[in-house]
């Protein structure tokens, strides 16, 4: 097992190098020159060159790439080009609000989707199953933007159940007052696709021989579904949940923008609009690392859930 | 003997202590700030774009400037109600004494203005002095700081450019070196010597990049480039209380601010009388706290305002149809008592052509004809109606309303007339080919590349121009690029055609006429237009104070611009500020970014 983990960690290095190269190429050839934005309304070529020199974008590409690699190794991405705020501080201060929305959402969404998936799989083919699937398909077809606009208008503005936007100072105030509506919107958006997916995983299992055997032995339906079926369906579910986890670290762009939540998703949008490469670099790299780490964790969890799984 | 008698009197020490206490109390009371701000009075404002930081010489976005304007102070400022905007002293004791035919400015500061206490001052009360302004001006030229505002004084002050050049050589700006044009005459007097007469200097002295910062603060908090974005310490009416970057900015009234009595004279606007009645004689600032939220989304801003979560909000174009009927608010908002502060912004939007481009550029007759035809094919009225939701007026004069030098009686010669445009193209040899599209006079294909941003406004403008080009049978393709890339190509004069905007840095016509000055090519002259007739008049106008002689030159320059058509003037947008009923005395100023220090809040109607 340890050998497996060490091998997987080693494998991350070439993947990370690939990400570094891709980000570097995209920024330098698609991203635009930040010096012209930073130079202000009127600037001379000399001033622009001065800015380029200070940012280091006048260096040959191989030098810039080497600096980038050193930043990845040391974890020090310097300061934002537009605000001079240290990048580490940007990430640390923006991560909290994003996680406050996304962690409750992920837990609630996963639990609801699994519960509903087991329920509709149990009554598969019935009117209830079909109705739920139709609702899911309709729900899937609607953009998150529509949900945000409609929910913000009706539940926050018209009915006054939630604040229209904002972020407070205390943990509970933020969680209960300001995060509730964003979490509800994310749940509405995410449960439909997850439910369909998990239902398929469950259906794959309910037709297996071991389920038939359990029924023949008189095991209760509850135990069959929640213990036997769920355990076997959990590997693809874990894969799906683990694949979602790195997304938590880049926040929910639209939700954060519409509800004025000072999260990392909003910061990413801002950095892209400002061509703020240090921030873009740092966030891309740490999401890439998180993805690889969560993939590894997923594999390790398979083993814990199903001892038959061999880690090679 | 009396001394002995006093010493022997047992009550004497008590009396002395009492006298000392009384004296200290009197001094303390005298030293108390005159600020009348009530911390229960809160103004909640919204920015649609995140701020950069609060270093007046380093940050360059409008929203950072709005905050800087109340934390820091310039020598001069604008009268709150006077229109067109009028310069008045702020920390200066009076307006500058101008001598040497506009080349020398002598400015005397008010005494007893102090910076907000800060550890950078090591427990000492720090008075604002002339050297602070000299230092702040020098910062604009420090290459390490890479100020986006250098251009304001570039090439103007005697010795300053040379100091900047020396700093580039040595890698360090010598702030202690004497600069001939920036003379600190005494503790409270600053003399500025210019290379050329410049009657616009007072406007620059009222612009927030020329606010005073304290050298100790920069040395204490400056980053590697010497920028102090997060620790603003000024002398203004407010100070930064809390800052959640890109999300919330909390300002509190500066308890050490000297205050002022609201005493502005009403102008011709009938609204002014009501404002004066509400505010006259009040000790300012009244508002104790300013809470600024950053909300990027239009819907969020509007719902937050309608939900009483905001007191002031700038209504951008796309939102206007939701709450406005033409120039007035919808009846439901009027019923709620919401007020509208509305005026034409001191800005112009224009479509320019690259004068260095082999297809559309140059001063040859057929090139001028091509540009004029394109200008005539564009329907500005339709743009105002469809794209701008009626929230703009057509710009016919390069200097917009509200700016010194604007001529409301000027009649432009460029009109929407596709038939005339087609006739002009026919006349100058831009014939239609077999495919129905026009060619160049030499028979080569004619294709215009219109550059725009990949956003909704950019797409609407693409469609407007496509329609215009179709009406004169000219092929058009859209060049889509992100803003930084467009800016780069524009500064290199590599875009063939684009729509650009310019908002007044200071309310003088020079700030707009310079957009076509040949020597500003590769800088603010987007199309790199070099038109000798225009340039000679511009240089003459620069040496003149505002007045009939300069106005005449501006009219001639406006006509020259129409004749050579390096641009097609488009529109000036309305500024619509929504104001909750509890806000008293609010009137949007055309140049000042923030008005919080001039307004009051009716606490009986304070919002939630």
Look at residue B129 and tell me whether its pLDDT is greater than 90. yes
B81-111 pLDDT per residue, tens? 998 899 999 999 999 999 998 899 999 999 9
Residue B167 to residue A150: CA distance in whole angstroms? 57
Cβ pair A259:B300 closer than 8 A: yes
Report the pLDDT averaged over residues A10-17: 90
Residue B533 near residue B522 (C-beta atoms within 8 A): no
Q: What is the mean pLDDT of chain A?
A: 88
Q: What is the mean pLDDT of chain B?
A: 91
The answer for residues whose C-beta is within 8 angstroms of residue B94's C-beta and 6 or more apart is: B108
Residue in A with minimal Cα distance to B505: A41
In chain A, the percentage of residues whose pLDDT exceeds 90 is: 44
Instruction: Give the containing element (helix H, strand E) for B59.
Output: none
Q: Which two tokens stand for residue B242?
A: 């809390």
3-state secondary structure (DSSP) of residue B163: helix
Residue B588 to residue B602: CA distance in whole angstroms? 18
Q: Which two tokens stand for residue B27?
A: 């001094």
Q: Which pLDDT belongs to residue B387?
A: 92
A206-234 pLDDT per residue, tens? 888 999 999 899 999 889 988 888 888 88
Q: Which pLDDT belongs to residue B4?
A: 34
Instruction: Give the containing element (helix H, strand E) for B500.
Output: strand B497-503
Residue B102 near residue B542 (C-beta atoms within 8 A): no
A112-121 pLDDT per residue, tens? 999 999 999 9
Q: Which pLDDT belongs to residue B5?
A: 36
Instruction: Give the containing element (helix H, strand E) for B335.
Output: helix B331-335
Distance linking the first and last C-alpha atoms of chain B:
70
Nearest to A101 by CA among A258, A263, A269, A270: A263
Lowest mean pLDDT among A28-42, A175-189, A255-269, B589-603: A28-42
Q: Which pLDDT belongs to residue B425?
A: 97
Cβ pair B484:A37 closer than 8 A: yes
Instruction: Please indicate whether residue A124 or residue B7 has the higher confidence score (pLDDT).
Output: A124
Count how many Cα atoms sit within 13 Å of the Cα of residue B462 in the half-sphere of its side chain: 15
Q: Is the ipTM of this complex over 0.90?
A: no
Residue A108 to residue A112: CA distance in whole angstroms? 6
Residue A87 to residue A286: CA distance in whole angstroms? 12
Nearest to B200 by CA among B555, B512, B588: B512
A86 touches chain B (CB under 8 A): no
A270 touches chain B (CB under 8 A): yes
Look at residue B263 and tell me whether its pLDDT is greater than 50. yes
Q: Which pLDDT belongs to residue B586?
A: 96
B192-217 pLDDT per residue, tens? 999 999 999 999 999 999 999 999 99
Total Cβ atoms within 10 A of residue B377: 26
Residue B471 to residue B346: CA distance in whole angstroms? 32
Please list every residue in chain A whose beta carbon sits closer than 8 Å to the beta carbon of residue B168: 50
A125 touches chain B (CB under 8 A): no
A40 touches chain B (CB under 8 A): yes
In chain B, the percentage of residues whose pLDDT exceeds 90 is: 81
Please list every residue in chain A whose beta carbon sits closer than 8 Å to the beta carbon of residue B148: 38-41, 43
B536-549 pLDDT per residue, tens? 999 999 989 999 99
Residue B95 to residue B506: CA distance in whole angstroms? 16
Q: Which long-range contacts (CB under 8 A, 24 or more apart) does A14-22 make?
A: A15/A288, A15/A292, A16/A72, A16/A285, A16/A288, A16/A289, A16/A292, A17/A69, A19/A284, A19/A285, A19/A288, A20/A65, A20/A68, A20/A69, A20/A72, A20/A285, A21/A65
Instruction: Using the Cα atoms of residue B550, residue B554, residue B560 and residue B563 in order, give the sign of their dihedral.
Output: negative
Residue B207 to residue B504: CA distance in whole angstroms? 11
Q: Which pLDDT belongs to residue B23?
A: 45
Cβ pair B522:A45 closer than 8 A: yes
Please list every residue in chain A whose beta carbon sits closer than 8 Å to the beta carbon of residue B248: 167, 262
Report the pLDDT averaged over residues B169-183: 94
B7-43 pLDDT per residue, tens? 344 444 455 555 555 445 444 444 444 567 999 999 9
Residue in A with minimal Cα distance to B244: A262
- How is residue B210 annotated by DSSP? G
Residue B226 to residue B179: CA distance in whole angstroms? 20
Nearest to B148 by CA among B76, B64, B244: B64
Q: Which pLDDT belongs to residue A53?
A: 87
In Å, what is the CA distance from B133 to each residue of B109, B110, B136? 10, 13, 5
Look at residue A271 and tell me whether its pLDDT is greater than 50. yes
Provide the pLDDT confidence category of residue B607 given band limits of 50, 70 and 90. Answer: low
B420-468 pLDDT per residue, tens? 999 999 999 999 999 999 999 999 999 999 999 888 889 999 999 999 9
Look at residue B289 and tell me whether its pLDDT is greater than 60. yes
Q: Which pLDDT belongs to residue A111?
A: 94
Please list every residue in chain B whose beta carbon sits closer than 8 Å to the beta carbon of residue A267: 246
Residue B217 to residue B353: CA distance in whole angstroms? 46
CA of B227, closest CA in chain A: separation in Å? 8
Q: Which two tokens stand for residue A303?
A: 């083993």
Report the pLDDT averaged over residues B346-354: 96
Lowest mean pLDDT among B17-31, B335-349, B486-500: B17-31
Cβ pair B487:A36 closer than 8 A: yes
Nearest to A72 by CA among A20, A133, A120, A145: A20
Backbone angles phi, psi at B211, to 5 degrees: -70, 160
Residue B500 to residue A182: CA distance in whole angstroms? 37
Residue B189 near residue B107 (C-beta atoms within 8 A): yes
Provide the pLDDT confidence category of residue A274 given band limits of 50, 70 and 90. Answer: confident
Report the pLDDT averaged over residues A23-47: 82
Lowest mean pLDDT among A301-310, B145-154, B288-297, B327-336: A301-310
Cβ pair B304:A160 closer than 8 A: no
Residue B263 near residue B311 (C-beta atoms within 8 A): no
A96 touches chain B (CB under 8 A): no
Instruction: Please indicate whether residue A253 or residue B353 has the higher confidence score (pLDDT).
Output: B353
Which of A31, A83, A270 is nearest residue B53 as measured by Cβ atoms? A83
Tell which of B46, B225, B247 to mutate to test the A interface (max A CBs under 10 Å). Answer: B247
Please list every residue in chain B whose beta carbon sits closer than 8 Å to the beta carbon of residue A181: none
Cβ pair B297:A84 closer than 8 A: no
Residue B542 to residue B540: CA distance in whole angstroms? 5
Residue A145 to residue A151: CA distance in whole angstroms? 10
Paired with B47 in beta bridges are B294
Residue A231 near residue A74 (C-beta atoms within 8 A): no
Q: Which two tokens stand for residue B441?
A: 């006079």
In chain B, the percentage of residues whose pLDDT exceeds 70 is: 94
B363-396 pLDDT per residue, tens? 999 999 999 999 999 999 999 999 998 999 999 9
Q: Residue ranges of the alpha helices (H) in chain A? A: 2-30, 34-38, 45-55, 61-74, 87-122, 127-141, 144-151, 171-172, 180-206, 209-216, 221-223, 230-248, 253-258, 264-273, 277-305
Which of A40, A45, A165 is nearest residue B149 as measured by Cβ atoms? A40
Residue B154 near residue B161 (C-beta atoms within 8 A): yes
B306-320 pLDDT per residue, tens? 999 999 999 876 788
Instruction: Give the containing element (helix H, strand E) for B220.
Output: helix B215-221
Report the pLDDT averaged over residues A298-311: 78
Backbone angles phi, psi at B356, to 5 degrees: -95, -5
The answer for residues whose C-beta is within 8 angstroms of residue B580's C-beta and 6 or more apart is: B305, B308, B310, B311, B312, B337, B338, B605, B607
Which of A44, A50, A84 is nearest residue B227 as measured by Cβ atoms? A84
Nearest to B231 by CA among B324, B146, B119, B328: B119
Residue B159 to residue B173: CA distance in whole angstroms? 13
Report the pLDDT averaged over residues B136-160: 94
The answer for residues whose C-beta is within 8 angstroms of residue A73's C-beta and 6 or more apart is: none
Which of B230, B484, B505 is nearest residue A32 as measured by Cβ atoms? B484
Which of A32, A167, A261 is nearest residue B485 as measured by Cβ atoms? A32
A144-196 pLDDT per residue, tens? 999 999 999 999 999 999 999 999 888 999 999 999 999 999 999 999 999 99
Q: Which pLDDT belongs to residue B84?
A: 86
Instruction: Please indicate whether residue B171 or residue B419 has the higher confidence score (pLDDT).
Output: B419
B516-537 pLDDT per residue, tens? 999 999 989 999 999 999 999 9
Residues 52-71 of A with CB under 8 A from B: 54
- Chain centre to alpha carbon of residue A300: 20
Count how many Cα atoms sit within 13 Å of the Cα of residue B576 in the half-sphere of its side chain: 26
Cβ pair A40:B520 closer than 8 A: no
Report the pLDDT averaged over residues B482-493: 86
Which of B144, B246, B487 is nearest residue A267 as measured by Cβ atoms? B246
Please list every residue in chain A whose beta carbon sits closer than 8 Å to the beta carbon of residue B488: 32-33, 35-36
Residues 142-171 of A with CB under 8 A from B: 149, 152-153, 156-157, 160, 163-167
Q: Which pLDDT belongs to residue B25?
A: 47
Q: Which two tokens stand for residue A138?
A: 């309709």
């Amino acid at each position: 097992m340890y050998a497996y983990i060490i091998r997987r960690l080693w494998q991350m290095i070439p993947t990370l190098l690939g990400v570094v190269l891709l980000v570097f190429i995209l920024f330098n050839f698609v991203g635009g020159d930040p010096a012209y934005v930073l130079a202000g309304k009127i600037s001379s070529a000399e001033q622009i060159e001065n800015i380029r020199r200070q940012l280091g974008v006048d260096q040959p590409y191989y030098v810039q790439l080497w600096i980038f690699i050193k930043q990845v190794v040391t974890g020090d991405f310097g300061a934002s080009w537009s605000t001079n705020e240290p990048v580490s501080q940007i990430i640390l201060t923006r991560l909290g609000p994003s996680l406050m929305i996304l962690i409750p959402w992920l837990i609630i969404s996963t639990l609801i989707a699994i519960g509903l998936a087991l329920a509709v799989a149990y009554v598969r083919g019935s009117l209830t199953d079909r109705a739920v699937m139709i609702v899911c398909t309709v729900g899937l077809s609607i953009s998150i933007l529509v949900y945000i606009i409609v929910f913000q208008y009706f539940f926050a503005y018209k009915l006054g159940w939630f604040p229209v936007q904002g972020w407070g100072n205390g943990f509970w105030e933020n969680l209960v007052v300001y995060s509730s509506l964003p979490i509800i919107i994310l749940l509405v958006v995410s449960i439909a696709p997850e439910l369909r997916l998990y239902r398929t995983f469950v259906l794959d299992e309910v037709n297996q021989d071991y389920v038939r055997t359990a029924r023949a032995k008189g095991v209760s339906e509850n135990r069959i579904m929640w213990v036997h079926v769920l355990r076997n369906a959990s590997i693809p579910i874990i894969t799906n949940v683990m694949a979602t986890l790195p997304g938590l670290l880049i926040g929910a762009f639209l939700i954060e923008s519409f509800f004025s939540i000072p999260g990392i998703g909003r910061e990413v949008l801002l950095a892209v609009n400002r061509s703020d490469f240090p921030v873009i670099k740092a966030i891309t790299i740490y999401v890439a690392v998180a993805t690889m780490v969560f993939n590894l964790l997923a594999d390790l969890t398979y083993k814990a859930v199903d001892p038959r799984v061999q880690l090679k | 003997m009396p001394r002995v008698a006093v010493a022997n009197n047992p009550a004497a020490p008590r009396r002395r202590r009492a006298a000392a206490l009384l004296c200290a109390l009197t001094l303390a009371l005298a030293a108390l700030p005159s600020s009348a701000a009530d911390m229960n009075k809160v103004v909640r404002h919204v920015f649609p774009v995140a701020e950069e930081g609060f270093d007046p010489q380093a940050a360059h976005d409008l929203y950072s400037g709005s905050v800087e304007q109340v934390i820091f102070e310039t020598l001069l400022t604008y009268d709150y109600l006077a229109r067109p905007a009028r310069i008045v002293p702020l920390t200066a004791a009076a307006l500058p004494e101008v001598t040497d035919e506009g080349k020398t400015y002598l400015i005397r500061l008010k005494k007893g203005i102090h910076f907000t206490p800060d550890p950078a001052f090591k427990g000492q009360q720090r008075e604002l002095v002339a050297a602070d302004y000299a230092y702040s001006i020098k910062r604009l030229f420090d290459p390490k700081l890479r100020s986006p505002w250098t251009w304001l004084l570039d090439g103007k002050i005697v010795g300053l450019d040379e100091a900047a050049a020396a700093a580039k050589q040595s890698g360090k700006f010598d702030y202690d070196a004497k600069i001939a044009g920036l003379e600190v005459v005494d503790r409270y007097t600053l003399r500025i010597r210019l290379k050329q007469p410049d009657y616009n200097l007072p406007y620059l002295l009222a612009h927030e990049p020329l606010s005073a910062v304290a050298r100790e603060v920069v040395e204490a908090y400056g980053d590697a480039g010497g920028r102090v974005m997060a620790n603003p310490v000024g002398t203004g009416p407010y100070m930064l209380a809390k800052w959640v970057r890109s999300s919330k900015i909390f300002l509190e009234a500066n308890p050490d601010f000297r205050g002022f009595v609201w005493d502005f004279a009403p102008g011709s606007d009938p609204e002014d009388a009501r404002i004066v009645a509400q505010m006259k004689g009040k000790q300012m600032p009244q508002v104790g706290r300013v809470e600024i939220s950053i909300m990027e989304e239009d819907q969020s801003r509007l719902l937050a305002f309608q939900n009483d979560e905001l007191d002031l909000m700038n209504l951008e174009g796309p939102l206007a149809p939701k709450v406005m009927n033409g120039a007035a608010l919808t009846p439901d908002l009027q019923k709620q008592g919401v007020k509208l502060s509305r005026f034409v912004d001191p800005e112009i939007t224009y479509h320019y052509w690259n004068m260095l481009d082999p297809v559309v550029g140059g001063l040859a007759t057929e090139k001028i004809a091509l540009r004029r035809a394109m200008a005539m094919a564009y329907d500005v009225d339709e743009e105002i109606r469809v794209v701008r939701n009626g929230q703009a007026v057509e710009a016919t004069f390069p200097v917009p309303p509200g700016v010194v030098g604007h001529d409301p009686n000027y009649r432009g010669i460029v009109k929407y007339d596709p038939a005339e445009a087609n006739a002009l193209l026919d006349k100058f040899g831009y014939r239609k080919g077999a495919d129905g599209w026009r060619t160049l006079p030499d028979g080569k294909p004619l294709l215009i590349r219109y550059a725009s941003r990949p956003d909704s406004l950019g797409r609407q403008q693409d469609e407007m121009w496509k329609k215009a080009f179709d009406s004169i049978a000219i092929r058009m393709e859209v060049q889509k690029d992100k803003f930084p890339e467009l800016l780069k190509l524009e500064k290199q004069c590599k875009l063939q055609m684009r729509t650009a905007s310019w908002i007044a840095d200071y309310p003088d016509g020079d700030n707009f006429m310079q957009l076509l000055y040949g020597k500003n090519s590769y800088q603010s002259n987007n199309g790199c237009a070099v038109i000798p007739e225009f340039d000679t008049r511009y240089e003459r106008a620069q040496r003149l104070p505002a007045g009939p002689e300069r106005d005449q030159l501006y009219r001639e320059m406006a006509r020259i611009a129409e004749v050579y058509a390096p641009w097609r003037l488009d529109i000036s947008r309305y500024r619509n500020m929504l104001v909750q009923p509890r806000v008293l005395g609010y009137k949007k100023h055309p140049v000042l970014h923030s008005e919080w220090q001039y307004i009051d809040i009716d606490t009986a109607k304070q919002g939630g």
